[in-house]
Structure 1
Amino acid sequence: MSEPPLKPVLQKPPGYKDPNAPAVKPGFRPPPRKPVLPPSFHPRKRRSGCCRVCCCCFCIFFLILILLLLICGAVFYLWFDPKLPGFHVQSFRISRFNVTKKSDGTYLDAQTTTRVEVKNPNSKMTYYYGNTEVDVSVGEGGDETELGTTTVHGFTTGKQNTTSLKVETKVSNKLVDDGVGTRLQARYRSKSLRVNMEARTKIGLGVAGLKIGMVGVTVKCDGIALKRLDGGDMPKCVINMLKWLNIH
């Protein structure tokens, strides 16, 4: 007998779903497992608490230190009542002042002697001075002429004591402008010269036998008229302790 002919396999239409297939929830994925790391790979916690404590301790210590310094300064000021020294120009003498006009210019020869009084008004402190460099000039308003520079050796001014300094300067064959030489000679004859003195030194403080520091200062005595000094007046100088601090 001949075999019956095979039935053709029917194709499933698009979108056909087998009713016997198990249902699968759309979009469902099992959660990934976290990798197990060895203990050496575990992140360590930062020690922020310890840093905070250190910062707080440092700030407290700094504030206490400032407070102690303020208290010590107040006690020192109330107990010793410190006062700055006073500088006065006692006298100014010109022993030689010659203006000579030569073929190659005008020359100045001058010799001066200045007396400066340094006073310590404190009853519980001593002032120590280092070597002092002194410049002497005449003129004013940017038209000054140098009459020499000298150095005064260090000295000490005791409690409520006064020290008199002798400052001698001279210039020889100093070349000046012809007009400047003429003006200087005329003002010298009429005693209308203006004297200027600038001293640069260092001051230290002595308390109970101890020396406290050395501070650089500049003392300026500007525009002093000779007639004023001849009349017995003693002009007071200005102390510049800092660039922005002028103390009379």
Structure 2
Amino acid sequence: MAEPPLKPVIQKPPGYRDPSLPAAQSGFRPPPRKPVLPPSFHQRKEKSGFCRVCCCSLCIFLLVLILLVVTGAMVFYFLFDPKFPGFHVQSIRMSRFNVTKKPDGTYLDAATTTRLEVKNPNVKMTYYYGDTEFDVSFGEGGDETAAGTTAVTGFTMGKQSTTSLKVETKASNMLVADDVGNRLRTGHRSKTLPVNVEARTKVGLGVAGLKIGKVAVTVKCDGITMKQLDGGDMPKCVTNMLKWLNID
């Protein structure tokens, strides 16, 4: 007897679940639920908008402030035409200069008097100087020999005035290298010994009866020789203000 024909296998559609199987074995998993966010997350847009407004307001304020400062500086410049005082070396005198070789080394003994001329070319401004500290040295090219330090009491420079400063320094029994001593002696005899003067002070400004706070200023007069001064020259010094602005 012939066997009945086999029934075709019907493919189960996707997602079919056999009702005879328990839920745990059916392999069906419900779709994940969308997490519920806390209320604080929904306020981020409001906070970011507030921060953006604050940043824009701050930038506008800074731009306006910079514009006001620049405008004020331009108005001040055109009204008063400010010029920084000029420093010149008038003279250098050495009342004592001895280089002595001893069994234990070479020694320098020197007394130096330097005169500086300070001019205020401004018609509408007064300058106020604090106590000024002076350093004097001999030599150049990074091989300077200290020749003493002194201080000058603060002073005031009126409009279009000139002030002369007297700076006296001493170097007593200072030990130097033998070759340095020879160079110092030779340079002194030929009047080609470079003399360096450095002044550190604070300068304030007086305008229309008002005093503006003092700023630190360094004045350097480098490489001045006796021969140069004897020839009638008055070398000009370089002024360093705020550690970056150089004024010749």
Q: Under TM normalisation by the shorter chain, which class is it?
A: 0.7 to 0.9
Q: State which structure, 1 or 2, has the greater radius of gyration over its C-alpha atoms.
A: 1
Mapped pair 1:56 → 2:56: yes
Kindly report which structure 2 residues correspond to 1:23-62, keeping only aligned pairs within 5 A, or say none: 27=15, 44-45=42-43, 46-47=45-46, 48-62=48-62
1:98 matched residue in structure 2: 98
Kindly report which structure 2 residues correspond to 1:172-191, keeping only aligned pairs within 5 A, or say none: 172-191=172-191
Q: CA deviation at 1:15?
A: 5.3
Q: CA deviation at 1:180?
A: 1.9
Q: Distance in 2 between matches of 1:28 and 1:206?
A: 96
Kindly provide the CA deviation profile for residues 163-213 of structure 1, in whole angstroms up to 9, marking residues without a partner as x: 111100001111112222222222222222221111111111111222222
Aligned alpha-carbon RMSD (Å): 3.0
**Residue correspondences, number:** 231
Q: Distance in 2 between matches of 1:189 and 1:151?
A: 28
Change (3 A) 1:196 1:25: closer
Q: Is the 8 A contact 2:201 2:216 kept in 1?
A: yes
Q: CA deviation at 1:50?
A: 3.0
Mapped pair 1:226 → 2:247: no
Q: Is the 8 A contact 2:147 2:170 kept in 1?
A: yes
Gaps of 5+ in 2: 1-5, 18-29
Q: CA deviation at 1:43?
A: 5.6
1:200 matched residue in structure 2: 200
Kindly provide the CA deviation profile for residues 141-170 of structure 1, in whole angstroms up to 9, marking residues without a partner as x: 233222111111211111111111110000
1:76 matched residue in structure 2: 76
Q: Is the 8 A contact 2:215 2:242 kept in 1?
A: no
Kindly provide the CA deviation profile for residues 205-234 of structure 1, in whole angstroms up to 9, marking residues without a partner as x: 111222222221211111112012123321
User: Matched residue of 2:140: which SS?
Assistant: coil
Gaps of 5+ in 1: 1-12, 18-23
2:154 matched residue in structure 1: 154
User: Matched residue of 1:69: which SS?
Assistant: helix
Q: Distance in 2 between matches of 1:223 and 1:65?
A: 44
AA partner of residue 44 (structure 1):
H
Change (3 A) 1:117 1:26: closer
Change (3 A) 1:224 1:26: closer
Runs of 4+ residues over 6 Å off in structure 1 = 31-35
Q: CA deviation at 1:71?
A: 0.9
2:27 matched residue in structure 1: none
Q: Distance in 2 between matches of 1:151 and 1:43?
A: 67
Instruction: Give the TM-score normalised by structure 2.
Output: 0.81
AA partner of residue 50 (structure 1):
F
